Amino acid sequence: MRDAARESLLVTRFESLVERQAKFVFRVAYAVLRNPEGAEDVVQETFLKLYRNRAWEGMENERAFLARVAWRIAVERIPRRGAELPELVSQDANPEDALLTSDWMGAVHRLVDALPEELRQVLALSGIEGLNSREIAEVAGIPEGTVRTRLQRARQLVKQKLESMGRSACGK
């Protein structure tokens, strides 16, 4: 009887965890895969894994913990030769054209997509609310200093490209 009550309580707690964090886990998975279907699969696998091994019961920082689990699952699902990765880049032919048509946000996203994978992932994670450099380092399994360096480099590359595109757009 007591076991049944405890089980019921656990289920309720798990359901509320899913309600709270499903979208966050989706964002982390999407930052790696850039594919909504793949990201949702990762979310389902992450929560199923947590439910089965009951590791979620004793976690201290649930966002960091969930992000780490989701990150690992997503990284395992990255296509070997990056077949799915250029999806967003190929939607529109040229970021410069997008800039000309005042789709500035879209152009930035395409530039981010064109970054080297290690820089892109860190920059994408930095865009998720509540994840600071230390947490990104924990999630990606790299030193915090490396995260900062990569973030700086990624931002610099995007800005340079935006500036050169702006100049060429004005020139036209």
Partner 1 sequence: MGNDSDDLTAAMAQYIPEPRPGIEQRVLRHVRTAQKRRRRYWTLIPVLPLLVLLVLLLLMLWPRPVPVVVRVTPTRTLPLVGQAVPPAHKRHHREKVQPFPTPAPLTEEEKALQALAASRPQEAQQLLAHEDDKPIEIPQLQIPPLQSDGGR
Question: Which residues of this chain interact with partner 1, rule CB under 8 A?
Answer: 14-15, 18-19, 22-23, 26-27, 30-31, 36, 39-40, 43-44, 47-48, 51, 104-105, 108-109, 112, 123-124, 126-129, 155, 158-159, 162
Pick from 162, 37, 20, 44: which is nearest to 98 by CA? 162
Nearest distance in Å: CB 27, partner 1? 5
Q: How far is the CB of 75 from partner 1 (least distance, A)?
A: 16
| Sign of torsion over alpha carbons 81, 84, 89, 93 | positive
DSSP state of 64: H
104 to 65, 112, 114, 165: CA distances (angstroms): 34, 12, 15, 11
For the CB of residue 54, give the shortest distance to partner 1 in the complex, in Å: 12
Output the six-digit token pair for 45.
Answer: 């696998």
Cβ atoms of residues 50 and 72 within 8 Å: no
* Residue with smaller CB distance to partner 1, 47 or 65: 47
Residue whose CB is less far from partner 1, 81 or 170: 170
Q: Which is nearer to partner 1, 142 or 151 (CB)?
A: 151
Whose Cβ is closer to partner 1: residue 59's or residue 108's?
Answer: 108
